[in-house]
Structure 1
Amino acid sequence: MPRRVQIEDPKYDDVPEETLRFKSSGSNVSDDQEPFMGVKVRRKASLHRDYNGDYLNVPSHPFLMKILHKQGDNEVLFADRVMKFTGSGKMKRCVLMVTDFAIYVVDPEVDALKRRIALAAVERVCLSELSDNFFAVVIPSEYDLLMASTRKTEIVTVLVEATKSKSASGFELDVVFSNRFEYNAASDLVKEVQFEEVEGGVKTRILRK
């Protein structure tokens, strides 16, 4: 049987790659809001949830503030703990921060910045059409990010709005919906994520191409 994984449970900091069945999570915007426009499957309880942005209270964490100041970033649009898929296919808890210039991935175990991605380098975000927690950030000049969060909708909306506000040419981040999509797990490794709606949630498979 597929393993059930609750995103917020820290005991799953390293989950081996296999078929995963995530409990459906709530979304944060109504159906008539960009960038979703009713494409995603929604639950009634999720339609009027408010954004909080900084769920970690970043100013209270000196190591996070030090990372931001070193990069010259000051405005935090979003911050929370999420699950990130490593190149080897395991899930690891990390801190995700989005500023008006970049995406930060921080290892909270060692208080270290693992990756900084300029928003200008992001081409698109991929999601399924179902109520799961997964999203992939596609960066053509680097390898991509596959993450899972119960606040996925808010993260994607923040990325779209931040990219739009900083683009002098009118560039708008693409949000692509498909129940199977590919992402570059490493520079020389492509994987496919497949989603299937099942009783009680969404079954997710991650396969090597």
Structure 2
Amino acid sequence: MSRLNSNRRIQIDTSEPRYDEGDDETVDDSSNAAEDLDPFMGVKVRRKASRLRDFQGDYIDIQSRPHLMKILEKQGDRKVLFADKVIKFTGSGKMKRRILLVTDFAIYIADPETDALKRRIALAAVEKLCLSELSDNFFAIIIPTEYDLLMASTRKTEIVTVLVDATKSASDYELEVALSNRFEYNAAADIVKEVQFEEVEANYYLLGV
């Protein structure tokens, strides 16, 4: 089946919703201020708050959600490295709130209202992460054997760090983090979309979904 290419462009305010506090002044990690190497390799412009905040991991109190805990136990996953609500883009370009869970073996996508499991992806199936070079909240998880995930979160830095570390711990494989203001992802099995990022105002970017 041939893949459909889509280049619809929409404007999104990346300052909402805000889950983090602190100064959002942007900094260039290529400066000497970035003393330690991170998954962004000193290329991406990041908010100061994203570099200085402490990672907490669980932001939804996963222990208080028995249905999600039961799903994890059924899959044999007990160690939750990250849990939070994110924005997920569907194949048609719609935005939906989802729960993103990262364990030491897999990625889970769940409905925040019902805690119903929508998708489980083994970390071993992830080929790379795609991000822009700007200080936005968007990231794509590329899964060659399935369709990809395009999401947005104010905790993107923590998500990327957790995924890179978890993949390396599980398989000794260094997960690629690709930085570009234009990249393609498989929005569905037969749909390829190109995402383009462009800074318009202080908190706005154009996203082709």
TM-score range, shorter chain: 0.7 to 0.9
- DSSP-derived class of the 2:45 partner: coil
Q: Select the residue among 151, 156, 159 that pairs with 1:155.
A: 159
Partner of 2:70: 66
Cα distance in 2 for residues equivalent to 1:45 and 1:139 = 30
Cα 1:55–1:195 change in 2 (3 A) is: same
Partner of 1:189: 191
Give the counterpart letter for 1:146 in structure 2: L
Cα distance in 2 for residues equivalent to 1:53 and 1:140 = 27
Shift of 1:38: 1.8
Shift of 1:57: 1.1
For the 8 Å contact 1:97–1:103, the answer to whether it is kept is: yes
Give the counterpart letter for 2:12 in structure 1: R
Cα 1:62–1:23 change in 2 (3 A) is: same
Partner of 2:208: 206
Partner of 1:102: 106
Cα distance in 2 for residues equivalent to 1:123 and 1:199 = 32
Query: 5+ unaligned residues in a row in structure 2: which ranges?
Result: 1-7, 19-23
Shift of 1:34: 1.5
Give the counterpart letter for 2:94 in structure 1: K
Matched, 1:125 2:129: yes
| Root mean square deviation of aligned Cα | 1.9
Partner of 1:137: 141
Task: Single out whichever of 32-41 and 191-200 deviates more from structure 2.
Answer: 32-41
Give the counterpart letter for 2:193 in structure 1: K
For the 8 Å contact 2:50–2:155, the answer to whether it is kept is: no
Identity of aligned residues (%): 69
Partner of 2:11: 20
Shift of 1:18: 4.7
- The count of aligned residue pairs is 188
Cα distance in 1 for residues equivalent to 2:136 and 2:51 = 15
- Could you list the runs of 4 or more consecutive aligned residues of structure 1 that deviate by over 6 angstroms after TM superposition? none
Q: TM-score, normalised by structure 2?
A: 0.84
For the 8 Å contact 1:130–1:202, the answer to whether it is kept is: no
For the 8 Å contact 2:14–2:205, the answer to whether it is kept is: no
Shift of 1:203: 1.4
Cα distance in 2 for residues equivalent to 1:179 and 1:127 = 8
Cα distance in 2 for residues equivalent to 1:128 and 1:189 = 21
For the 8 Å contact 1:195–1:202, the answer to whether it is kept is: no
Cα distance in 1 for residues equivalent to 2:109 and 2:189 = 18
Matched, 1:52 2:56: yes
Cα 1:117–1:107 change in 2 (3 A) is: same
Shift of 1:58: 0.4
Give the counterpart letter for 2:206 in structure 1: T
RCO comparison, higher one (Cα < 8 Å, 6+): 2
Q: Select the residue among 83, 87, 95 that pairs with 2:87.
A: 83
